[in-house]
Amino acid sequence: MAEENEELEPERAEREPTEREPTERESTERESTERESTEPESTEPESTEPGEPDPEQLGFDGEEFDELAADDLEEDDDNDELEEDDEEDEEGHPEPEVTIEVSGLSLYTHMGVSEAERQLGQRLILDVRLDIGESDATVTDRIEDTVDYGEVCEVINLVAQQRNYKTLERFCAAVADRLIERYEIHAVWVKAAKPEPPIPLPVSEVSVEVWREA
């Protein structure tokens, strides 16, 4: 039996095909496949750098998105302008200068160089301008914080009735002095005109102006 087995083994070896050695190309492909299978998969999250939003994701088309972006830029510019205005207001601005003017105040007086003017009397037309400067009434809206022009007219009429002046110059100076004494003003301008002067030539009027600072 041992001899028979020894005879069968060479025959079996002849019948079994010999294993073929792999080529160089096959070896390279096999090594590459083995490396890919053994390399761990990357678990790092993809980079999500912030960028401009996608209009389609927000539900807008391209034109609507551009219009909204332009509106945002205009609103930012308006806010910047408002902030600049607020900064200027905080710095403060000078109060406005106030001037009060009365025009065409008609008074009947007894003044003039001739005796007839002083006895008969005549009409005078007065224009008055008062430079007040800064006035709290521009903020408070109260008559007590400014000069009452109705009261100014009463003061002028009182000056005209207290005595008979010969010249318009003296009368205008008296009015200016009384207004400066009574009110806190920077300057006053007074103009007195005679619409019917007693002269033989035709004229529309004669007038005198006086300017006085406080």
- 194 is a catalytic site residue: yes
Q: What is the distance between the alpha carbons of residues 197 and 105, in angstroms, rounded to a whole number?
A: 17
Q: What are phi and psi of 133, to 5 degrees?
A: 85, -140
- What are the beta bridge partners of residue 133? 98
Q: What is the distance between the alpha carbons of residues 191 and 173, in angstroms, rounded to a whole number?
A: 10
- What are the beta bridge partners of residue 130? 100, 188
Q: What is the distance between the alpha carbons of residues 211 and 206, in angstroms, rounded to a whole number?
A: 17
CA angle 56, 57, 59 (to 5 degrees): 65
Half-sphere exposure of 100 (CA within 13 A, CB side): 22
The single residue of 111, 126, 194, 210 carrying the catalytic annotation is 194
Tokens of 146: 């400014």
CA 210 to chain centre: 42
- Name the packing angle between helices 168-182 and 149-162 (round to 10°): 130
Q: What are phi and psi of 41, to 5 degrees?
A: -70, 140
Any idea which residues carry the catalytic annotation?
194
